[in-house]
Structure 1
């Protein structure tokens, strides 16, 4: 009895190992299409990735399988020549990333740059990531506002004649729902000023529901403006702060995440208590508070200090004069890059340290501690 092709497809879709998928592709004609679809769903061009320009050119149908495409701008290898052709052929792309190493956008060349701009108009595109790229044309940033999820990390705009010259009536309607901004360099101000420019109506920030920002002393004022502009619609806020911040009133936020890098002696930064205390007055409807503690590469035998409780989670917390909607405080311990210590040993000390800092949560079921996957980066 012949099994339906849908069953083969469903089985192959559960396989994520590339070598296994390659073996399946050679096994039978029934396994070939679903194996290729999964092998070429996520493709990287340039950088240190394998040169796949030859198979893409020889078998152009493979391009139709691409959903997640990453382009490394700094590369000069032959596979970078495939970028324009791939961008113009991929019609169902969902995620696009352009990564550089502080290189200029001009490294792409006219053909690739034009194809990238055209790619932003694909209806299927749901996410754009730009990182470490200088001289990004304002027209590209303008087109990016039509994408639901946008990440700008260390991105420098080429303003040319200025922001106002690029805000035309033909600009796409803003669809940004999730915005990620990360850059302590003053160059990020150009993107902030662009997003907040008064000549654009409605503003690019007025539909954002999730905001992720990394704040330092150079960017704090700009990001305070961004938070304020998103206040009416913002539901999720993730803040990576290296200094004291000022949270505006965010009446719709239900989830907040605060990231902290743990320094010598596992001591919390002096500004952490003040930043956390603002949650009570600035986020009146918050339901979930996630605290991410990133462990620096220090020996695991360094102990967590037993110090005074955090102000809003002291013994009087259950009086519930504030944070009336709080349902969970999730403390995550995350390993920083290059840390090779025993994370389990660190976590065994982390849990009682968090419990001692939040005595008002003991016995409530609100406090949760976990050892997170992945690596935190500075």
Structure 2
């Protein structure tokens, strides 16, 4: 008989579900590690066109017949059904989950108050689990401020997308009521989109140890308020700049190492320009992010049939012009752009071309030509970075909205 430690190592290398199921039938020593892998990550989905949720009923029946299975579930993604009976079944499933590390909830645009009480209690209990580290909320309306505060105080990673806080808030918070210092990652792709909503959730402006922030730019400028509140601790910042019509105007970010900018560029086939606000942002990098190590730039073109010709007369970004005193060819790994002392820690720049519409075939001549043009354009904008081999340019696949939770930490 193989030692259990060796069995665990063997099963840990197996990924396919059918293979794990076969392992669980091999011998008794294989059952627990196989089930641990099989049930570690589960999803309970609901068809919004149906009045029943059979997946929830099957899950509850399985757990009631084999209670130990719930122990193995560490990552759970759930759809919230609209009918009370199905919500009650989902609540019963959640009550068995005591070891969850990650929870994703799609509320399907339902009001929190419309959920049955036992489901709301079950969700709050899961959020309170000491093991829960990552919480992702999608499409929930009228979410009480007390729930948001509880979530932000309990987990290390929190994402809120199309989540509407309930105004006015249902709890009284003092300036001294700071959040738990373990919240290190905050993702706000489409949430707190107005100053009024940010005001009722002002506890997000008192984060003590936020290192990663992903946020969408707003014309109101509220994104800058959130960035400024954690400017001393931020290490990674990701911004969805849309058409970049509003100046970014970043505050000093003395510890920032990674800056990711995404542009939804409305271009035409004849000539494509990068927005002036992008040029200004890159020019200000040495001022607000002197320790920057990596810059990511994603340009999203709206239609797959477009093959924009990037403006050949567009000058390089001044910070990355060729230094005429440097050799034309260089194998040095040190930076040698125009002012290398401005960003002494910069080691990589990554530029990606992305299409907002899905396509079945991204390998044909058309996409190859579009990518080639984009590569040439980015090399022209970052000539010194290209020469110094810290620039990479290519095409990126648009993340599917269907598998939204799969793209989150």
TM-score range, shorter chain: 0.7 to 0.9
Question: Are the counterparts in 2 of residues 130 and 153 from structure 1 also a CA contact under 8 Å?
Answer: yes
**Which of 315, 323, 342 is matched with 1:322 structurally?**
342
Q: How does 1:283-298 map to 2 (within 5 A)?
A: 283-298=289-304
Gap regions ≥5 residues in structure 2: 48-52, 324-336, 405-409
How far apart are residue 256 of structure 1 and its match? 0.8
Q: Do residues 145 (structure 1) and 152 (structure 2) align?
A: yes
Match of 1:200 in 2: none
How far apart are residue 29 of structure 1 and its match? 3.0
Match of 1:133 in 2: 140
TM-score by length of 1: 0.86
Structure 1 stretch displaced more, 45-54 or 354-363: 45-54
Change (3 A) 1:142 1:287: same
Gap regions ≥5 residues in structure 1: 198-202
| Structure-2 separation of matches of 1:112 and 1:260 | 39
Change (3 A) 1:188 1:130: farther
1:8-56: CA deviations, max 9, x gaps?
Answer: 2222222332233233333443332222212211122242484423212
| Structure-2 separation of matches of 1:172 and 1:301 | 48
Q: Do residues 348 (structure 1) and 356 (structure 2) align?
A: no
**Aligned with 1:239: secondary structure?**
strand
| Structure-1 separation of matches of 2:263 and 2:94 | 39
**Which of 198, 207, 210 is matched with 1:208 structurally?**
210
Match of 2:235 in 1: 235
Structure 1 stretch displaced more, 286-295 or 317-326: 317-326
Question: Are the counterparts in 2 of residues 280 and 312 from structure 1 also a CA contact under 8 Å?
Answer: no
TM-score by length of 2: 0.80
Q: Do residues 280 (structure 1) and 286 (structure 2) align?
A: yes
More strand by share: 1
**Which of 64, 68, 75 is matched with 1:68 structurally?**
75
**Aligned with 2:68: secondary structure?**
helix
Q: Do residues 246 (structure 1) and 249 (structure 2) align?
A: yes
Change (3 A) 1:217 1:285: same
1:92-146: CA deviations, max 9, x gaps?
Answer: 2111111122221234311111111122221111111111101112221111122
How far apart are residue 252 of structure 1 and its match? 1.4
How far apart are residue 179 of structure 1 and its match? 0.8
- Alpha-carbon RMSD across the aligned residues, in angstroms, is 3.0
**Which of 327, 338, 346 is matched with 2:358 structurally?**
338
How far apart are residue 76 of structure 1 and its match? 4.0
**Which of 144, 151, 162 is matched with 1:154 structurally?**
162
1:31-85: CA deviations, max 9, x gaps?
Answer: 3222221221112224248442321222111111111111212454976443223
Q: Do residues 118 (structure 1) and 125 (structure 2) align?
A: yes
How far apart are residue 187 of structure 1 and its match? 5.8
Question: Are the counterparts in 2 of residues 215 and 240 from structure 1 also a CA contact under 8 Å?
Answer: yes
Structure 1 stretch displaced more, 60-69 or 175-184: 175-184
Q: Do residues 96 (structure 1) and 103 (structure 2) align?
A: yes
| Structure-1 separation of matches of 2:66 and 2:86 | 15
Match of 2:41 in 1: 42
| Structure-1 separation of matches of 2:17 and 2:83 | 26
Match of 1:259 in 2: 262
Question: Are the counterparts in 2 of residues 174 and 204 from structure 1 also a CA contact under 8 Å?
Answer: no
Count residues with an aligned counterpart: 369
**Aligned with 2:226: secondary structure?**
helix
| Structure-1 separation of matches of 2:190 and 2:10 | 43
Structure 1 stretch displaced more, 67-76 or 90-99: 67-76
How far apart are residue 158 of structure 1 and its match? 1.9
Q: Do residues 361 (structure 1) and 382 (structure 2) align?
A: no
